[in-house]
């Protein structure tokens, strides 16, 4: 059964408290009675109430003063207050009551049906609030459990993956039978793909747990970008990526995190763009406070996919069965840019193809996440 809802009734006349108790008594309600404002505040320190029925005229602390005290405390700030008063209707007193935090006035003698109706409304609202709070706690607990599971799984998978990779390297160096060399190559490629997936899962867990830390240092964005292009382009392939810079390309950023973002953006452009067209990377350092970097390719992302492109497990194009990623790359890239205080956006159309644009402040003095001492993933987080 649902717990009983508590209602606070404050009146300096004992007979009025008895009458209210008889009027609104229900098995699912508990009436907390106070004969003064001070006594009411003591009860509010001990109990969570769904509604306060407060008499206006009381000796010492009147109802308006009690309401002001309640609104000044975080614990009772959101408790609805209905004033009960036997005085004549006064616009000035009504305004003062609403300024003090009242949600309604009832003038004595009031209609019992009206009081019960209003009481029922606030009891239902309180029950809904408790239900939503319980659901939120369950959701948060599930999320924490899921993130812990992903982090532990990713960490524990690294050791056997390293052993498999070492065995594949040993097989490839032994030589001999072509079938052995072919099997070693397939094992090595599959292990690398699994390692990239594990790294993406670990990054996802860090992002959602708010543990993405930054180690800022002075960087040349042009040089970092060219290093990434050299790293992810096959040595035997024709150079398909052009990098041009304009203005000052220096700033204070985390080299590992920025490299991860660039690896994702340029790798996506190479993977999903027209293989016969160049991928253009432009770095605009003409603004003193902000650097703009764009990655353009000849591919087109369907309009219906752009809205969810930066959400987890999404992709701008269908992923083949042997895809090296989980659809987390752009989500992680967007979060890493956000932690730097910047923004990542995309536009796609026939005229220009697909353009990802990253805006980064050159220096951000406000650290947006706690420092994460875990090593950053080094391999590109490609989709």
328-358 burial by CB neighbour count: b if 16+ within 10 A, else e? bbbbbbbbbbbbbbbebebebeeeebbbbbb
Q: Does residue 128 lie within any of the structural domains?
A: no
What confidence tens digit (pLDDT) does each residue in 39-60 have?
999 998 888 888 889 888 888 8
Share of the chain above pLDDT 70, in %: 81
Residue 177 is given by DSSP the state -
What confidence tens digit (pLDDT) does each residue in 324-357 have?
555 678 888 888 898 899 999 999 888 888 999 9
Structure tokens belonging to residue 342: 């910047």
Q: What is the C-alpha to C-alpha distance for residues 203 and 209, in angstroms, rounded to an integer?
A: 10
- Widest pairwise Cα distance in the chain: 104
Environment class of 56 (CB within 10 Å of its CB; exposed 0-12, middle 13-18, buried 19+): buried
Q: What is the C-alpha to C-alpha distance for residues 334 and 294, in angstroms, rounded to an integer?
A: 14
Same domain assignment for residues 225 and 349: yes
Q: Does residue 28 lie within any of the structural domains?
A: yes
What average pLDDT does the segment 267-278 reach?
84
Q: Does residue 274 lie within any of the structural domains?
A: yes
Same domain assignment for residues 279 and 356: yes
Residue 376 is predicted with a pLDDT of 35
Same domain assignment for residues 204 and 269: no
Query: In this structure, what CATH number is given to the domain that contains residue 268?
Result: 3.30.565.10
Q: Does residue 330 lie within any of the structural domains?
A: yes
Query: In this structure, what CATH number is given to the domain that contains residue 163?
Result: 1.10.287.130
Residue 285 is predicted with a pLDDT of 93
Same domain assignment for residues 180 and 228: no
Which residue range is the domain that position 223 belongs to? 216-361
Same domain assignment for residues 57 and 151: no
Same domain assignment for residues 159 and 293: no
Residue 280 is predicted with a pLDDT of 92
Q: Is the pTM of this model over 0.75?
A: no
Mean pLDDT score across all residues of the chain: 80
What average pLDDT does the segment 239-266 reach?
90
pLDDT value at 11 more than 60: yes
What average pLDDT does the segment 368-383 reach?
35
Same domain assignment for residues 221 and 200: no
Same domain assignment for residues 311 and 344: yes
Q: Does residue 120 lie within any of the structural domains?
A: no
Q: Does residue 127 lie within any of the structural domains?
A: no
What confidence tens digit (pLDDT) does each residue in 275-329 have?
888 899 999 999 989 999 999 998 888 888 888 888 876 655 555 545 555 567 8
Q: Does residue 184 lie within any of the structural domains?
A: yes
Residue 211 is predicted with a pLDDT of 64
Same domain assignment for residues 220 and 351: yes
Total number of domains constituting the chain:
3
The position carrying tokens 């290093």 is 227
What confidence tens digit (pLDDT) does each residue in 70-128 have?
888 888 888 888 888 776 666 667 777 777 777 888 777 777 888 888 888 888 888 88
- Of the three residues 110, 133, 160, the one that is the final residue of a domain is 110
Same domain assignment for residues 151 and 238: no
Q: Does residue 378 lie within any of the structural domains?
A: no
Concatenate the DSSP letters of all residues of 334-378 into one string. Answer: HHHHHHTT-EEEEEEETTTEEEEEEEEES---S--SPPP-SPPP-
């Amino acid at each position: 059964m649902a717990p009983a809802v508590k209602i606070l009734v404050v009146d300096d006349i004992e007979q009025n408290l008895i009458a209210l108790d008889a009027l609104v008594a229900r098995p699912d309600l508990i009436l907390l009675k106070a004969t003064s404002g001070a006594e009411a505040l003591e009860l509010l320190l001990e109990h969570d109430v769904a509604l306060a029925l407060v008499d206006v005229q009381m000796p010492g602390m009147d109802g308006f003063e009690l309401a002001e005290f309640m609104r000044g405390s975080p614990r009772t700030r959101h408790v609805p207050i209905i004033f009960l008063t036997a005085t004549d209707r006064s616009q000035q007193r009504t305004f003062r009551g609403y300024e003090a935090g009242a949600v309604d006035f009832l003038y004595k003698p009031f209609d019992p049906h009206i009081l019960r109706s209003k009481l029922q409304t606030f009891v239902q609202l309180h029950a809904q609030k408790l239900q939503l709070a319980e659901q939120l706690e369950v959701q948060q607990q599930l999320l924490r459990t899921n993130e812990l599971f992903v982090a532990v799984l990713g960490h524990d998978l690294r050791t056997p993956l390293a052993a498999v990779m070492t065995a594949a390297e040993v097989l490839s160096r032994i030589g001999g039978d072509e079938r052995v060399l072919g099997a070693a190559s397939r094992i090595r490629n599959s292990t690398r793909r699994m390692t990239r997936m594990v790294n993406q899962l670990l990054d996802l867990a860090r992002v959602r747990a708010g543990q993405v830390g930054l180690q800022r240092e002075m960087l040349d964005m042009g040089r970092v970008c060219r290093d990434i292009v050299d790293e992810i382009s096959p040595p035997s392939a024709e150079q398909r990526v052009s990098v041009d810079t304009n203005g000052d390309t220096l700033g204070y950023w985390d080299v590992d995190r920025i490299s991860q973002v660039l690896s994702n953006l340029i790798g996506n452009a190479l993977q999903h763009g027209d293989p016969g067209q160049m991928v253009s990377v432009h770095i605009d350092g003409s603004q003193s406070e902000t650097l703009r970097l764009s990655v353009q390719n000849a591919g087109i992302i369907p309009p219906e996919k752009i809205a969810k492109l930066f959400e987890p497990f999404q992709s701008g194009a269908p992923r083949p069965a042997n895809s090296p990623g989980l659809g987390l790359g752009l989500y992680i890239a967007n979060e890493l840019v956000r932690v730097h205080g910047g923004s990542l956006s995309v536009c796609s159309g026939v005229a220009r193809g697909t353009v990802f644009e990253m805006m980064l402040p050159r220096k951000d003095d406000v650290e947006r996440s706690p420092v994460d001492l875990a090593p950053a993933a080094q391999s590109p987080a490609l989709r």
